[in-house]
């Protein structure tokens, strides 16, 4: 007879290590042999087991030192002809085909270029523009790119080395110094740096196709004086900053993801060499110059096990059953691309942080009809709504949305439907209002609360054709927000004069509202996202005690709110969109100015231990 397990059960895979999102995500840093001479603004080339580290700033002066690494030990070798620090370098493998260019020596800047043949350095043709703090990359001493740096001022100049001379080619889109570069001369990457000589760190990343530079996704952590390794479709960025950081990020050709940190935080330009599976980081500065070397290694491909969301497995090493899931508490906000037109009292709708629409708003004193679409890397202006408005509500996806209510200048009942290209006027709300909570889809939406001539409790439901009055909120309010569907919704926050900002939360079951646990921080002009009344985010907004635009983010699990990672800066007067694992906020008010800034919320996939309950 068949067992119940055989009929209804499923096999649980046994593994010795937890699955990971990618091979790079399995990587860790381990100690290697120290440099003989501690220094910063040092450069390296080669591979993890056959590398060279050159020049740098020692204690009070630039250095000509060169050291070779064999996978365990650094050995002094022939010095550069000209002592310097903060130059550029290229040469992936072998390290016996390396080029060093530019740099400075307290302070004269130079364009001098030297090539290494494994035994000695030879001076060759100078760069066209003398500079220090340039980024370099390339596969060998006969094919290299030198870009950016400081003359001063900071420049975006790019030069190509062909084995005998340097030629000016297309400049960076964003001039910067003290960035990192990696890749061959026809497919390179530059990331991080400073645009103003050191007071500002940037996260900008640009890719090079052999002819042009293209802006691509930013680092998660802006920093200068970092190191890098790998290819432009599979790169590592590590260290940097001021103060120094240990952060390591992997670029997969489209976006950066944080992976395991260095053991020793360091900035000041450590040397970085290798690939995304076997890299080296040497030297740099903590609060003093260091000689510390770390080696990056990943799980070999034959033994790598990839994460699959929802999988259940048994880890034999930790003797635990686990499930792979998205961890909302571990989610973080990262900067996205700025909108074309900054505005406040704007509404956002869409399905994720890479598929969203931003509509209408206010650029004081003018109400706007603008529509912009976001694909995760670019905002594109599209057809305007028919009726300009501020304080509107919205719902739906990037290609099938709805905008309703708003002010122009008084409260409106206008509703418009979006098909991905055009707006069409459809049936009005029963009660004109603005600053209410909207959620749902193009054919099934809810609008709750808002401001008519006073705070409203009215709730209306859209069926794809018309609005119908349904049960009111328990507490009238305006400038609240919501999430979910017409059968499983949530409304939170708002303004209830004379109380001011409140954290009141109500759950919708398709028929009636039920008061549930309040937000930890009462606020109005609040942003929010979520798919149901059991999973939502509340972010940003304006508090009245004391008055402030805040960055607080809270997660709703169906019974209570929990404080999680904040927005990078406080803002209000924008609604947000997406789900509790994949959200976006765009536009709004920072407390001092209208903004077009975008932030994207993402949650990591984690392997969580299953426990009995």
Provide the pLDDT for residue 10: 63
Alpha-carbon distance of 46 to 139, in angstroms, equals 9
Tell me: do 270 and 140 sit in the same domain: yes
What's the CATH number where 345 sits? 2.120.10.80
Tell me: do 293 and 399 sit in the same domain: no
Res. 3: pLDDT tops 80: no
Tell me: do 356 and 269 sit in the same domain: no
* Boundary residue ending a domain (254, 278, 297): 297
Q: Does 106 fall in a domain? A: yes
In this prediction, residue 198 has a pLDDT band, given cuts at 50, 70 and 90, of: confident
Tell me: do 424 and 279 sit in the same domain: no
Tell me: do 290 and 422 sit in the same domain: no
What is the residue-wise DSSP string for 292-338?
Answer: -EEEEE---GGG--B--TT-EEEETTTTEEEEEEE-GGG-EEEE-PP
pLDDT tens track for 65-107? 999 999 999 999 999 999 999 999 998 666 778 999 999 976 7
Q: Does 375 fall in a domain? A: yes
Provide the pLDDT for residue 4: 47
Backbone angles phi, psi at 474, to 5 degrees: -70, -30
Beta bridge mates, 347: 359
Tell me: do 596 and 534 sit in the same domain: yes
Q: What is the mean pLDDT of the chain?
A: 94
Provide the pLDDT for residue 93: 62
226, two tokens: 């970092």
Tell me: do 267 and 380 sit in the same domain: no
Percent of the chain with pLDDT over 70: 97
In this prediction, residue 549 has a pLDDT band, given cuts at 50, 70 and 90, of: very high
pLDDT tens track for 230-284? 998 999 999 999 899 999 999 999 889 899 999 999 999 999 999 999 999 999 9
pLDDT tens track for 294-343? 999 998 888 888 888 888 888 888 888 888 888 899 999 988 999 999 99
The model carries a pTM of: 0.69
Long-range interactions of 420-429: CB distance < 8 A, separation 24+: 421/382, 421/383, 422/383, 423/371, 423/383, 423/384, 423/385, 423/386, 425/386, 425/387, 426/465, 427/465, 427/466, 427/467, 428/467, 429/404, 429/405, 429/460, 429/467
Task: Provide the residue range defining the domain that includes 79.
Answer: 28-297
Contact 273, 44 (CB under 8 A): yes
List the one residue out of 295, 329, 282 whose CA is nearest residue 49: 295
Provide the pLDDT for residue 106: 66
**Is omega for the bond preceding 94 within 30 degrees of 0, making it cis?**
yes
Tell me: do 378 and 282 sit in the same domain: no
Q: Quickly count: other Cβ atoms within 10 Å of residue 215's Cβ.
A: 15
Provide the pLDDT for residue 221: 92
Q: Does 34 fall in a domain? A: yes
Q: Does 310 fall in a domain? A: no
Tell me: do 276 and 415 sit in the same domain: no
Tell me: do 104 and 217 sit in the same domain: yes
* Boundary residue ending a domain (277, 297, 317): 297
Q: Does 269 fall in a domain? A: yes
Q: Does 611 fall in a domain? A: no
**What mean pLDDT comes out for the span 546-565?**
97
Q: Does 13 fall in a domain? A: no
- CA 191-197-199 angle, to 5 degrees, is 90
Provide the pLDDT for residue 9: 60
Tell me: do 107 and 197 sit in the same domain: yes
Provide the pLDDT for residue 613: 57
Tell me: do 289 and 338 sit in the same domain: no
pLDDT tens track for 425-445? 999 999 999 999 999 999 999
Percent of the chain with pLDDT over 90: 83
Backbone angles phi, psi at 8, to 5 degrees: -110, -15
Domain total in the chain: 2
Provide the pLDDT for residue 18: 84
* Boundary residue ending a domain (254, 279, 297): 297
Alpha-carbon distance of 14 to 327, in angstroms, equals 23
pLDDT tens track for 131-154? 999 999 998 888 999 999 999 999
Q: Does 568 fall in a domain? A: yes
């Amino acid at each position: 007879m068949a067992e119940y397990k055989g009929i209804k059960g499923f096999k649980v895979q046994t593994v010795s290590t937890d699955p990971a999102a990618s091979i790079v995500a399995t990587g860790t840093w381990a100690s290697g042999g120290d440099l003989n001479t501690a220094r910063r603004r040092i450069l390296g080339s080669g591979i993890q087991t056959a590398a060279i580290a050159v020049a740098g700033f020692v204690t009070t002066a630039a250095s000509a030192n060169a050291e070779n690494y064999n996978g365990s030990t650094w050995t002094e070798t022939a010095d550069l002809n000209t002592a310097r620090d903060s130059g550029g370098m290229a040469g992936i493998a072998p390290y016996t085909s390396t080029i060093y260019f530019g740099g400075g020596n307290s302070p004269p800047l130079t364009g001098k270029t030297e090539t290494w043949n494994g035994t000695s350095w030879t001076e060759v043709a100078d760069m066209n523009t003398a500079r220090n703090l340039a980024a370099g990359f390339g596969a060998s001493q006969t094919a290299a790119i030198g870009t950016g740096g400081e003359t001063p001022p900071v420049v975006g100049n790019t030069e190509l080395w062909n084995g005998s001379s340097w030629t000016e080619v297309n400049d960076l889109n964003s001039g910067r110094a003290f960035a990192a570069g990696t890749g061959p001369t026809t497919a390179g990457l530059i990331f991080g740096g400073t645009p103003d000589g050191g007071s500002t760190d940037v996260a900008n990343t640009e890719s090079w196709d052999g002819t042009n530079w293209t802006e691509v996704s930013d680092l998660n952590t802006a920093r200068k004086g970092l190191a890098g390794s790998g290819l432009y479709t599979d790169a590592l960025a590590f260290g940097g900053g001021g103060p120094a950081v240990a952060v390591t990020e992997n670029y997969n050709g489209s976006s950066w993801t944080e992976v395991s940190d260095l053991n020793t935080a360091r900035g000041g330009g450590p040397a970085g060499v290798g690939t995304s599976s076997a890299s080296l980081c040497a030297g740099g500065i903590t609060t003093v110059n260091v000689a510390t070397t770390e080696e990056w290694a990943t799980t070999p491909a034959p033994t790598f096990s990839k994460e699959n969301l929802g999988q259940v497995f048994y880890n034999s090493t930790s003797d635990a059953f686990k499930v792979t899931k998205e961890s909302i508490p571990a989610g973080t906000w990262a900067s996205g691309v700025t909108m074309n037109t900054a505005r406040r009292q704007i509404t956002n709708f869409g399905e994720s942080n890479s598929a969203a629409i931003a509509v209408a708003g206010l650029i004081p004193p003018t109400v706007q009809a603008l529509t912009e679409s976001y694909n995760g890397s670019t905002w594109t202006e599209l057809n305007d709504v028919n009726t300009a408005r501020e304080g509107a509500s919205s719902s739906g996806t990037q290609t099938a949305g709805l905008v309703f209510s708003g002010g122009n200048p008084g409260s409106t009942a206008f509703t418009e439907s979006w098909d991905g290209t055009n707006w069409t006027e459809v049936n009005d709300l029963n009660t004109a209002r603005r600053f209410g909570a909207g959620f749902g889809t193009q054919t099934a939406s809810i609008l709750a609360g808002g401001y008519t001539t006073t705070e409203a409790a009215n709730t209306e439901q859209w069926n794809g054709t018309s609005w119908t009055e349904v049960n009111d909120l328990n507490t009238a309010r305006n400038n609240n927000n919501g999430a979910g569907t017409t059968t499983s919704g949530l409304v939170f926050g708002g303004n209830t004069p004379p109380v001011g900002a409140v954290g009141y939360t109500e759950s919708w079951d398709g028929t009636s509202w039920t008061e549930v646990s309040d937000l930890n921080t009462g606020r109005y002009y609040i942003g929010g996202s979520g798919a149901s009344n059991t999973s939502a985010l509340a972010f940003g907004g304006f508090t009245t005690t004391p008055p402030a635009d805040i960055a607080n983010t809270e997660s709703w699990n169906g019974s209570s709110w929990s404080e999680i990672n904040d927005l990078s800066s406080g803002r209000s007067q924008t609604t947000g969109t997406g789900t509790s694992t994949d959200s976006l906020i765009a536009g709004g008010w920072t407390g001092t100015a209208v903004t077009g800034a975008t932030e994207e919320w993402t949650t990591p996939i984690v392997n969580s231990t299953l426990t009995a309950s």
